[in-house]
Each structure stands twice: as structure tokens, then as C-alpha cells.
Amino acid sequence: MRRFLAYFAVAIGAIVGIALVLNLVMSIIVGGRQVAVPDVRGLSPQRAAELLSKAGLRYDIAHESFSVEFPESMICDQKPVPGHVVKQGRTIELTMSKGVQFQDVPFCIGRPFRGATIMLERAGFTIGAVARVSQLKGYPGEVITTEPPPGTKVLKGSRINLLVNAGMPQARVILPDLRGKPYLPTKMKLERLGLLVRQSSLDKNFNPLRSRILMHEPVAGSIVSRGDTIDLVISAEMESQNL
């Protein structure tokens, strides 16, 4: 009886073993053996093809893309990702690097700060440090300059620093020379800075759109602050002044 049971156990084991072998053979024939996808990023297309072929995989260089990490003409991405288990014969989709992408810094000097940041971000740049200085020239909130300057070729995605006009602060500032400046735009700038403007004209019928500032009080170089009054003497029309 014991001998019979021993023979029976051996027979069962043989049957299970044969079944496992047959299952393995059928999986290879029908579905292919499974392998882990090798990492070919950073390799040349030739070297990547060698590794993939050795693993029983196919490849297709389907895309090109700019890359900071990988040099030009090297593989910079792959799908499926490295280590993913696939069946042999699977096609691995590769992306080849076009190298780094350079781009000109947009000209946003004179634009409002918000508009300048939108322009830079849409162009693919990142907003860096933002510094603000007070000056009477220009308008509060407008961009005075950028670093790097407009037109400079830099890597796409680089940080662009901005210098923004903070306008006239509560502290005192030096009044610039306003003589010869167009009357109406200058008046608007002074009022935006919190200064009060009074004007008088040498011509009772002066045209504010065609006149310039002849003199002013306080004079250039005077220290003024928000709420101070600037007296402007307006010249005759620009045509009569040959300006």
C-alpha cells in the first residue's frame, strides 16, 4: 500500500511538472516572455537600439523635444518608463533631444507690471526678483527695465528679474526739470504722483494739447512730497514756438 501511494505521488508530481512546463512554453509561444524595459535615456539612438534589441524589444523614435538635461541627438524620454515589465516584441516609443532651447527676452519696458508678467509667462519664462524704485519719470507700476535686458537670448524657462516704478513715495523726492515738456502729459503724471497742479498761460486761448511748459515753481532740483502744489507757466502753442 505504501509503495502504491509513493508511485501515485510521483505520478501526480510529474503531471504537475509537465503542466507547468507546458504553460511556460505556451506563454512564450502565444504571449512572449516578459522583460523589464531598460533605461536608454541619455544614450545615442544606436546604443539604445542595441539594448532594446538585446532585451527582445522593438523601438520607434517617434518624437523630438528640447531638453536641458540631455544633449542634442540623445534619447531624452521613453514610453513605457524604465523598469516597466512588458512582453517581448513590444515597441518602445523614444523621444530624441533637440538640445536646449534659446529664446529672446520680450520687450516689456513701459508696460504695467501685471501685463509684463503675463507676457513673460506666456513666452515660457519665470518671474524672478521684483524690485521697486521711486521715480517721477514714467508711471507708477510700469516696468522700468528687465534683467536680462530685452532681446537677450536666454534659455527658455529662465528667471527674468523686473525693476518696477513705485511712483512717488511719502518721502520727499527731487523735482526734475519740466521746462519744454508737453503740458498735458506732464500734468497727468504729476497728478498721478499725488501732486497738485496749477497752471497759468501767456496766451489766454492756449491749447493744452499743443502747449509746453515754459517754467515752473518749485524749480528743478527742489524737494517735493505728495500733496505739494506745482505751479506751471504754459507757453503758447508749439507751432508758434517752432518746437
Question: What DSSP letter does each residue of 26-89 carry, written as one string?
Answer: HHHHHT--EEEPP--TTS-HHHHHHHHHHTT-EEEEEEEE--SSS-TTSEEEEESPTT-EEETT
Q: Are residue 200 and residue 159 in the same domain, yes or no?
A: no
> Which pLDDT score is estimated for 5?
53
Range of the structural domain that residue 60 is part of: 30-100
Task: State the Cα–Cα distance between residues 199 and 217, nearest whole angstrom.
Answer: 10
Task: Say which DSSP state 151 is in.
Answer: T
Whether 13 is in a domain gets the answer no
Whether 230 is in a domain gets the answer yes
What is the full DSSP assignment across 107-130?
--TTSBHHHHHHHHHHTT-EEEEE
For the stretch 218-230, what's the b/e string if a residue is b when 16 or more beta carbons lie within 10 angstroms of its beta carbon? Answer: eeeeeebeeebeb
Q: Are residue 120 and residue 144 in the same domain, yes or no?
A: yes
Whether 214 is in a domain gets the answer yes
| Domain closes at, from 137, 165, 193 | 165
> Which pLDDT score is estimated for 173?
74
CA-to-CA dists, residue 10 to 13, 14, 19, angstroms: 5, 6, 14
Q: Are residue 115 and residue 82 in the same domain, yes or no?
A: no
Bridge partners (DSSP) of residue 196 are 229
Task: State the Cα–Cα distance between residues 23 and 153, nearest whole angstrom.
Answer: 61
Whether 11 is in a domain gets the answer no
Q: Quote the pTM value.
A: 0.46
Task: Say which DSSP state 182 is in.
Answer: B
Task: State the Cα–Cα distance between residues 35 and 55, nearest whole angstrom.
Answer: 7
Region label for 167, one of left (φ > 0), alpha (ψ between -120 and 50) or beta (otherwise): left
Task: State the Cα–Cα distance between residues 200 and 208, nearest whole angstrom.
Answer: 11
Task: State the Cα–Cα distance between residues 44 and 222, nearest whole angstrom.
Answer: 68
Task: State the Cα–Cα distance between residues 132 and 36, nearest whole angstrom.
Answer: 55
Residue 119 · residue 140 · CB < 8 Å? no
What CATH number should be reported for the domain holding residue 204?
3.30.10.20
Q: Are residue 71 and residue 96 in the same domain, yes or no?
A: yes
Residue 124 · residue 98 · CB < 8 Å? no
Q: Report, as ranges of residue numbers, the positions in the chain whose pLDDT lies below 50.
A: 25, 27, 29-30, 239-243
Q: Are residue 37 and residue 74 in the same domain, yes or no?
A: yes
The tally of domains found in the chain comes to 3
| Domain closes at, from 49, 82, 100 | 100
> Which pLDDT score is estimated for 240?
42
